[in-house]
Amino acid sequence: GENVEQHPSTLSVQEGDSAVIKCTYSDSASNYFPWYKQELGKGPQLIIDIRSNVGEKKDQRIAVTLNKTAKHFSLHITETQPEDSAVYFCAATNAGGTSYGKLTFGQGTILTVHP
């Protein structure tokens, strides 16, 4: 089955700096890669996703890049703000396969943005 590795496990930045979180996956059949933000006591919330036919996607201060050859994808947050502090998870799945879209998650990154 799919295996997703995520690093770093913790990331501390100053407000206004950029933050980068990286993930690698093992199953070359995976074709959908979402990123979730989870705040304390809440469920994961989708912040951005990318499909395998696209190399990069951007939404305001958030961007995701995908390298299918190397089987890794990254989340980039620019101009970080204290409210970006949370746990971030990457995930992967093979949409349309017998996985029915079940997500395999990374271990999470605790992002702290200092004012």
Partner 1 sequence: GAGVSQSPRYKVAKRGQDVALRCDPISGHVSLFWYQQALGQGPEFLTYFQNEAQLDKSGLPSDRFFAERPEGSVSTLKIQRTQQEDSAVYLCASSLGGLAGVQETQYFGPGTRLLVL
Q: Which residues bind partner 1 (CB under 8 A)?
A: 4, 6, 31-32, 34, 36, 41-46, 49, 51, 89, 91, 93, 95-96, 99-108
Name the residue nearer to partner 1 (CB basis): 49 or 78: 49
Which are the contacts of 99, defined by CB distance < 8 A and separation ≥ 6?
Answer: 2, 93
| Structure tokens, 68 | 């299918």
Question: Does residue 58 sit in helix, strand or coil?
Answer: strand
Would you mind telling me the total number of residues written for the chain in this entry?
Answer: 115
CB of 34 to partner 1, least distance (A): 7
| Structure tokens, 51 | 């499909």
Name the residue nearer to partner 1 (CB basis): 52 or 78: 52
CB of 46 to partner 1, least distance (A): 6
Residue owning tokens 């979180």:
21
Name the residue nearer to partner 1 (CB basis): 16 or 101: 101
